[in-house]
Amino acid sequence: MPTRDSLQLTGGMLQMGARVLLVPGFIIAIAIMLKGYADIGDGFSAGVIAALVVIVQGLAFGAEELERIAVARLAPLLGFIGLGLAYALAFVPVLFGYPILTHFPRMNEHAEHFGPLEFITPVLFDVAVFLVVYGFCVGAMMAVSRAEVRHQRLIRRARQRAGSRGGDAV
Amino acid sequence: MNAAMMLLVISFAAPLLVLVAGTINARLVPHVAVLATALAAVVVGWSFWQPDAAIRWTWAEVYGLHFELRLDGLARLYALLAIGIGFLVVAYASRYMELHLHHGDRPASDHIRFFFFLLLFMAAMVGLVMAQDLILIFVFWDLTAIASFFLIGFDQHEEDSRSSAMMALVVTGVTAVLVLVGAMLLHHDYGTWSLPAIIEQGGIQDSAPWALLLIAIGALAKSAQVPLHFWLPRAMAAPTPVSAYLHSAAMVAAGVFLIGRFYPLMQQVDWLLDVFLVIGFASMLVGGILALTRNVLKQVLAYSTISQYGYVVFMFGMGGDYGIKGASFYVLAHAIVKSALFLTAGAVTEATGKKTLADIGGLRQTMPMLALGSGMAAAGLVALPLTIGFFKDELFFARAAQLGAPYMVMAVAGAALTFAYIFRFWTHIFLGREISPSQPISTWLVWPVVVLGLLTVLGGIWPAPFTHIAEAAASVSTNSPQKLHVEYVIAPIVENLMAISTWVFGFGIYWTRRRWWRVALGIAHLGEQLGPAHWYYRGLNGLNHLSDSIHSFEVRDLRSRVASILLPAGILVGLAVLVTPNANSFEIGPIQQSDFTLVIMLIAAVVSGLVVMTLRDHLRLAIGLSSVGYSLAGVYAFMSAPNVTLVAIVVETILSMFLIGMMVLMPRTILRFETEADSDRRSISRDAVIATVAGLLVFFVSWGALSRTSWNTEIIDSQTVLTPAVHGKNIVTVILADFRGFDTMGEITVITITLIGIISLLRSGRLR
């Protein structure tokens, strides 16, 4: 059995590691996503990495910490925005007479680029995938943690009520 | 901007304007709606002096789809009905709905919903009548069904209203699918979605008659023709302006419009015209007899509408010059008089608080203007001279006379029934002694009726403007230029004799009503007991039962929930394995020295899998399961796929945390019960058999699939070649975002739906 001290120590280490990794983790995720078209990586892997970095904050600092971090709080919204972006990329070309999900610039046309980052619509589509995957992972964990927090609060209230009435604890 | 564009823009801007006005102040909404429809009415009037106009935008060119609209003679007729009558109905509703909401103690914000859907319906009608592309026709067609659902079910707190809306949606929605199937069959035969192009190709090809039959069924259901008529009387649960609009000039008119639109093709299929004859006559008869037996004002008019559209369908069935021109003229005349009568019913109910003929009488003294307006309209419907109605029946009789005695008898029978029930309707309301006292009502509930009544008489004195509209519409329906001229002939010609016998017989039917009243009621009762409505309810109940029993099995416990998904899926996959040709599959490749590390990781995965089977504590189970995933990540690492390994590890970690998180949410008692429950020998062996069969199935499917891919690398090769051309260097990402991007779309859609499910399930707190 771990002792109380060893638990505190590992907790402290987890908190430090989580905080130190937060920003670099995100930067790595975004890099993996943006250069995904030219190199190893894509929106999906970037999405799960970014999600893991955020979820670990919750593990280390508790559910309240997740509520403080905007990118965690807004995760489901980001997911919906991602899906909207993907649908826009799919169906806007249809309005102009192209097949569904036609990417631009078209095949063999010139594409501008900045280092490994290319200015082409597939990269935007990958960003959409990133947002959906990130939104799902963090959003689902947030839903679980919020449900638990709400439950604990209910129990506390019930106990207080029972205590104030002087009856049995619930 | 041409006339077609103007009409389209103004029609679709109107519901949006209502929404905008609603956000400012809900009380503004009726005024904005009146102004917007008035403007649309001006534009539709102006369009009659404009040449035919078209809009054609290409969209989804690969599928040959075009946003193709055309304002032709047929479109003008029905757009005039939709917008012209629409304007009067909206003007009426601007006052009526205020009272309606006030009686129901409902907020003013309900105005927004009402006028939005009313104007959306109008816009959909305008789009429908101009649409030339088969898919576009279907889209607008369905839009009218959706808007009508919300309008019929506007009083959503009333059960009757909700079930009526559902019935209208089911009948017109299911048959709308037939229209789509018909459109697809036509596309298959003619190779184009463009209706004018199909008509230009001429001739009737292969499956075209069946396609036209399917489209006709959709049209007949919308026009409430026997045997799919039962939704219309129920739809009278809607507020009166909705009944007046949808069920005189718009929704039911959409049905015969569709027949008119496809008529150049339909007239080439003789048996289809016979179908129209039979259904048209049946509707005339059934609608007429039932209208005679009803007491509720709007019910009389609803059955009358079924009967009157029966005339129109009958005329399409008879065909010929008079038939088609007569049908177009009939729709125009009927819309004017019938909407006036519906509005009369609403005004009378508003004034007296009564809804049935038995409770109302002698209103001519207290409501003289309404009596006059509706009297003119009623005279129009029973085809008295000096009204537009006289000519509608003359054309009907003229065509019947051309075809011979049986048709003449049918025509006179239908028209005589109309005379009888409308005579009963009007005289009971306005003549005789006063039964219920009436309150003064707003002039806004009266003047639209008077305007429509005056139009009825105007059409009887100066029919030329109306015949011009009808002949232009008939020219489109026959695909050849038509001329229509009507005039009074004071001589014993056959049409006049038929008209006179109609009045005599009609009055006779009314006069002798006490003798046949019970027989007619018996027929109505028999229809209710055995008719299509009865089968509709039985079918609906059966479907409900089926769905309930599947649902109750699914939610019984976790095991049945999993079984209800996995069992059908397993059977389907098993069948697929059996029927798939399996040459070159199920082969064991050589194991080389370099595969050694891979084999070790696979063994680790197998061991983790076996260990999971022995665990009972939930936390250990979750960790054990994740170790299966981690060992597979190791397999990827040894297969030189570092990126996949990274993703696998991260995904596995998140999944494990999620699994543990879910266990925290579960009540402890359930977890303990599951852990400590002693399974008996029988259930253990049953589980073992299921697991073995399922495992073997998955094994063979994976084995078959994996050993197959190595034989066909053409697609991969071509994608590898194409990757640089589409600006990519990483083929995996290019496949995900480009080559197979549509699959990815589906996947992220499923992920998002799952997220919505998780959030809404957990919103109420901990699992119970």
**pTM, entire model:** 0.73
pLDDT tens-place string over residues B211-237:
999 999 999 999 999 888 888 888 888
Q: What is the mean pLDDT of residues B446-452?
A: 90
Minimal C-alpha gap between B10 and chain A (Å): 21
Contact flag A144-B728 (C-beta cutoff 8 Å): no
Q: Flag whether B486 is in a domain.
A: yes
- Do the beta carbons of residue B339 and residue B92 sit within 8 Å? no
Contact flag A125-B744 (C-beta cutoff 8 Å): yes
Question: Distance between alpha carbon B220 and the CA centroid of its chain, in Å?
Answer: 13
On chain A, the residues whose CB falls within 8 A of the CB of B650 are: 45, 48-49, 51-52
Contact flag B657-A55 (C-beta cutoff 8 Å): yes
pLDDT tens-place string over residues B177-216:
999 999 999 999 888 899 999 998 877 877 889 999 999 9
Bridge-partner residues for B70, per DSSP? B54
Per-residue pLDDT, B709: 56
Residues of chain A above pLDDT 90, percent: 28
Q: Flag whether A84 is in a domain.
A: yes
The yes-or-no verdict on residue A166 having pLDDT over 70 is no
On chain B, the residues whose CB falls within 8 A of the CB of A146 are: 762
Q: Flag whether A170 is in a domain.
A: no
On chain A, the residues whose CB falls within 8 A of the CB of B729 are: 37-39
Contact flag A45-B732 (C-beta cutoff 8 Å): no
Per-residue pLDDT, B609: 85
Per-residue pLDDT, A4: 63
Q: If we measure between CA atoms, which residue out of B350, B500, B513 comes closest to residue B427?
A: B513
Contact flag A136-B755 (C-beta cutoff 8 Å): yes
On chain B, the residues whose CB falls within 8 A of the CB of A122 are: 726-728, 733-734, 737-738, 741
> Cα–Cα distance between B739 and B732 in angstroms, integer?
10
Which residue in chain B has the smallest CA separation from A50? B650
Contact flag B755-A139 (C-beta cutoff 8 Å): yes
The DSSP result for B613-624, as a single string, is: HH--SHHHHHHH
| Of the partner residues B732, B752, B762, the one whose CB lies closest to the CB of residue A144 | B762
Q: If we measure between CA atoms, which residue out of B104, B118, B82 comes closest to residue B242?
A: B118
pLDDT tens-place string over residues B474-496:
888 888 888 888 888 888 888 88
**What b/e sequence results for B647-674 when a residue is b if at least 16 CB atoms lie within 10 Å of its CB, and e otherwise?**
bbbbbbbbbbbbbebbbbbeeeeeeeee
Copy the structure tokens of residue A48: 């799960």
| DSSP label of B57 | E
Contact flag B730-A129 (C-beta cutoff 8 Å): no
Per-residue pLDDT, B677: 64
Per-residue pLDDT, B186: 92
On chain A, the residues whose CB falls within 8 A of the CB of B722 are: 107
On chain B, the residues whose CB falls within 8 A of the CB of A103 are: 726, 737-738, 741
The yes-or-no verdict on residue B1 having pLDDT over 80 is no
| Of the partner residues B654, B662, B744, the one whose CB lies closest to the CB of residue A137 | B654
Per-residue pLDDT, B675: 66
Residue of B743, B755, B761, B768 to mutate for A, most A C-beta atoms under 10 A? B755
Residues of chain B above pLDDT 90, percent: 32
Per-residue pLDDT, A66: 86
Domain that holds residue B464: 60-66+162-531
Contact flag A97-B58 (C-beta cutoff 8 Å): yes
Overall number of domains in chain B: 2
Contact flag A122-B765 (C-beta cutoff 8 Å): no
The yes-or-no verdict on residue B279 having pLDDT over 90 is yes
Contact flag A94-B733 (C-beta cutoff 8 Å): no
Per-residue pLDDT, B380: 92
| Of the partner residues B647, B661, B742, the one whose CB lies closest to the CB of residue A44 | B647
- Do the beta carbons of residue B453 and residue B372 sit within 8 Å? yes
On chain A, the residues whose CB falls within 8 A of the CB of B736 are: 42-44, 126, 129
Per-residue pLDDT, B350: 85
pLDDT tens-place string over residues B637-667:
887 777 788 889 999 999 998 888 888 888 7
Contact flag B643-A79 (C-beta cutoff 8 Å): no
* Alpha helices (H) along B239-382: 240-244, 251-266, 270-293, 297-318, 320-352, 368-381
Q: Flag whether B503 is in a domain.
A: yes
ipTM for the assembly: 0.90
3-state secondary structure (DSSP) of residue B135: helix
Q: Flag whether B483 is in a domain.
A: yes
End-of-domain residue from the set B531, B550, B574: B531
> Cα–Cα distance between B398 and B396 in angstroms, integer?
6
Q: What is the mean pLDDT of residues B256-268?
A: 92
Q: What is the largest CA-CA distance in chain B?
A: 109
Which residue in chain B has the smallest CA separation from A63? B661
- Do the beta carbons of residue B350 and residue B338 sit within 8 Å? no
Contact flag A140-B758 (C-beta cutoff 8 Å): yes
Residues of chain B above pLDDT 70, percent: 97
On chain B, the residues whose CB falls within 8 A of the CB of A94 are: 59-60
The yes-or-no verdict on residue B768 having pLDDT over 60 is no
The yes-or-no verdict on residue B745 having pLDDT over 90 is yes
On chain A, the residues whose CB falls within 8 A of the CB of B726 are: 103, 107, 122
Contact flag A140-B737 (C-beta cutoff 8 Å): no
Contact flag A103-B651 (C-beta cutoff 8 Å): no
Per-residue pLDDT, A169: 43
pLDDT tens-place string over residues B673-717:
766 666 677 777 877 887 788 888 888 888 877 776 555 677 778
Minimal C-alpha gap between A167 and chain B (Å): 23
Which residue in chain A has the smallest CA separation from B765? A147
Residue A98 vs residue B425, higher pLDDT: B425
| Of the partner residues B651, B730, B765, the one whose CB lies closest to the CB of residue A48 | B651
- Do the beta carbons of residue B312 and residue B333 sit within 8 Å? no
* Alpha helices (H) along B681-764: 681-709, 714-725, 731-734, 741-762
Per-residue pLDDT, B704: 78
| DSSP label of B495 | H
Contact flag A144-B726 (C-beta cutoff 8 Å): no
Q: Flag whether B112 is in a domain.
A: no
Which residue in chain A has the smallest CA separation from B756? A76
Residue of A113, A132, A149, A170 to mutate for B, most B C-beta atoms under 10 A? A132
pLDDT tens-place string over residues A111-123:
787 777 778 888 8
Overall number of domains in chain A: 1
Q: Which of A81-90, B118-127, B506-515 has the lowest mean pLDDT?
A: B506-515
Per-residue pLDDT, B458: 93
Domain that holds residue A147: 4-165
| Of the partner residues A86, A98, A140, the one whose CB lies closest to the CB of residue B658 | A140
pLDDT tens-place string over residues A144-153:
888 888 888 8
Between A and B, how many CB-CB pairs are < 8 A? 164
Contact flag B762-A52 (C-beta cutoff 8 Å): no
Per-residue pLDDT, A7: 62
Q: Tell me the residue ranges of DSSP E strands in A6-66.
A: none
End-of-domain residue from the set B470, B499, B531: B531
Binning pLDDT at 50, 70 and 90, where does residue B256 land? very high
Which residue in chain A has the smallest CA separation from B747? A129
Binning pLDDT at 50, 70 and 90, where does residue B765 land? low
Contact flag B60-A94 (C-beta cutoff 8 Å): yes
End-of-domain residue from the set B531, B554, B581: B531
Which residue in chain B has the smallest CA separation from A91? B60
Q: Flag whether A159 is in a domain.
A: yes
Name the region of B64 (left: φ>0; alpha: ψ -120 to 50; beta: rest).
left
Contact flag B742-A126 (C-beta cutoff 8 Å): no
Q: Flag whether A74 is in a domain.
A: yes
On chain B, the residues whose CB falls within 8 A of the CB of A154 are: 765
pLDDT tens-place string over residues B542-590:
999 999 998 888 887 777 777 788 778 888 888 887 887 777 677 777 8
Cis peptide before A99 (omega within 30 of 0): no
> Cα–Cα distance between B133 and B263 in angstroms, integer?
15
